[in-house]
């Protein structure tokens, strides 16, 4: 399928895991993709991999909390491709397993900065360049619905993204759609402290209706749907991609 032919997509935190699967899928569906993360080496390696699959791409270093790097990400994309059709805000941090009441202020600030505020600031920078019919996708988490101990405050920042999706969808309509994906558990580096533990992993698998963890490709398939005109009448929604884990009615 080439649903994204001629589109230009920025995806943050896209040199591995879910973000990389998204740029790869977008690229294979015909988009020009801008791959980014904090480390130049990771950006270079991701660009190499994408090019070897025939994907048109540009690599840019961008720590999402760095305002100059966010500006560069947007400006270099526009310089190279002339427009932006898709933005996926995918970066997140989960720096502590402390209970909320024990969390240091610096950790609370980091969670807010990276998981919520950076999405807003990136979209402020990108908004003037977004094409008519553009699609914005935020990456939340199943834990946004049920913030669990050991990642409770992280979960709360993801709950905020569910609200941000609704608010931005209203603010950016009718020219842009804004939707959100709430992944279940995917065995990436980010989640390996959970998914590498065989007992916890089994528990999570049993807690899904489909009896397995998610894959980065499961998330990328949903992102491609939300980025494409197949979802042209969907905005302000969160799609839970979690194998039927409990989320909401
Ligand atoms: P991952 O495999 O660990 O990949 C993280 C990526 O983010 C890397 O490319 C990393 O590259 C980049 N990165 C980290 N901090 C960054 C920052 N401050 N600015 C820019 N790039 C940064 O992670 P993942 O599991 O794919 O997670 C992606 C998203 O999915 C996150 O929003 C996460 O909350 C969400 N999610 C994941 C799961 C799961 O089970 N995996 C479940 C629910 C939601 P550099 O080191 O080069 O920066």
CA distance 89 to 86: 10
pLDDT in tens, 155-204: 999 999 999 999 999 999 999 999 999 999 999 999 988 889 999 999 99
CA of 91 to the centre of ligand 1 (A): 5
- The predicted structure's pLDDT at residue 44: 98
Instruction: Report how far ligand 1's centroid is from the alpha carbon of 141 (Å).
Output: 12
Pocket test for ligand 1, best of 12, 147, 188, 240 (most atoms within 8 A of CB): 188
Provide the pLDDT for residue 248: 86
Report the pLDDT value the prediction gives residue 240, as an integer from 0 to 100: 98
pLDDT of amino acid 249: 82
The Cα 119–Cα 164 span in angstroms is 9
Residue with tokens 């101990």: 149
pLDDT at 1: 79
Cβ neighbors of 134 (< 8 A, separation 6 or more) are: 84, 85, 86, 87, 175, 176, 177
- Distance CA(171)–CA(178), nearest Å, equals 9
In angstroms, the first-to-last Cα distance of the chain is 32
Question: Which residues form the pocket of ligand 1, taking CB atoms under 6 Å from any ligand atom?
Answer: 12-13, 15-19, 37-39, 42, 62-65, 90-92, 114, 139, 141, 183, 185-186, 188-191
pLDDT confidence bin for 41, thresholds 50/70/90: very high
Task: Report the nearest-CA residue for atom 2 of ligand 1.
Answer: 17
Q: How confident is the model at residue 149 (pLDDT cuts 50, 70, 90)?
A: confident
Rounded Cα distance, 183 and 26, in Å: 18
Quote the pLDDT of residue 142: 97
Q: State the SS3 of the chain.
A: CCCCCCCEEEECCCCCHHHHHHHHHHHHCCCEEEEEECCHHHHHHHHHHHHHCCCCEEEEECCCCCHHHHHHHHHHHHHHHCCEEEEEECCCCCCCCCCHHHCCHHHHHHHHHHHHHHHHHHHHHHHHHEEEEEEEEEECCHHHCCCCCCCHHHHHHHHHHHHHHHHHHHHHCCCEEEEEEEECCCCCHHHHHHHCCHHHHHHHHHCCCCCCCCCHHHHHHHHHHHHCHHHCCCCCCEEEECCCCCCCC
Atom of ligand 1 nearest to the CA of 214: 40
b/e burial code for range 12-45 (CB count within 10 A of at least 16 → b): bbbbbbbbbbbbbbbbbbbbbbbbbbbeeebbeb
Probe ligand 1: pick from 13, 19, 90, 161, max atoms within 8 Å of CB? 13
Distances (CA, A) of 148 to 38, 76, 152, 169: 28, 39, 5, 27
Pick the residue whose CA is nearest to atom 48 on ligand 1.
38
pLDDT band at 148 (very low <50, low <70, confident <90, very high): confident
Residue-level pLDDT at 68: 98
Quick: pLDDT tens for 76-129: 999 999 999 999 999 999 999 999 999 999 999 999 999 999 999 999 999 999
Q: What average pLDDT does the chain have? A: 97
Full set of structural domains in the chain with CATH:
8-186+218-241 (3.40.50.720)
Residue 153 has pLDDT above 90, yes or no: yes
If you average pLDDT over residues 221-247, what whole number do you get?
98
What's the confidence (pLDDT) of residue 206?
Answer: 96
């Amino acid at each position: 399928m080439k649903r994204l032919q001629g589109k230009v997509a920025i995806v943050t935190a896209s040199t591995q895991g879910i973000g990389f699967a998204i740029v790869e899928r977008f690229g294979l569906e015909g988009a020009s993709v801008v791959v980014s993360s904090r480390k130049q080496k990771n950006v270079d390696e991701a660009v190499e991999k994408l090019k070897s699959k025939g994907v048109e791409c540009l690599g840019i270093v961008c720590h999402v909390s760095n305002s100059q790097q966010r500006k560069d990400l947007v400006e270099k994309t526009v310089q190279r491709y002339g427009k932006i059709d898709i933005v996926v805000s995918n970066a997140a941090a989960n720096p502590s397993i402390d209970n909320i009441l024990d969390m240091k202020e610096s950790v609370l600030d980091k969670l807010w900065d990276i998981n919520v505020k950076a999405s807003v600031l990136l979209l402020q920078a990108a908004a003037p360049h977004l094409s008519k019919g553009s699609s914005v996708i935020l990456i939340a988490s199943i834990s946004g619905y049920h913030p669990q101990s050991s990642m409770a405050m992280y979960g709360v920042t993801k709950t905020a993204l569910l609200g941000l999706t609704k608010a931005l969808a209203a603010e950016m309509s009718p020219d842009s759609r804004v939707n959100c994906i709430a992944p279940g558990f995917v065995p990436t580096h980010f989640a390996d402290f959970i998914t590498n533990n065989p007992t916890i992993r089994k528990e999570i698998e049993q807690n899904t209706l489909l009896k397995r963890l998610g894959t980065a490709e499961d998330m990328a398939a949903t992102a491609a749907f939300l980025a494409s005109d197949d979802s042209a009448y969907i905005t302000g929604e969160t799609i839970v991609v979690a194998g039927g884990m409990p989320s909401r009615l």
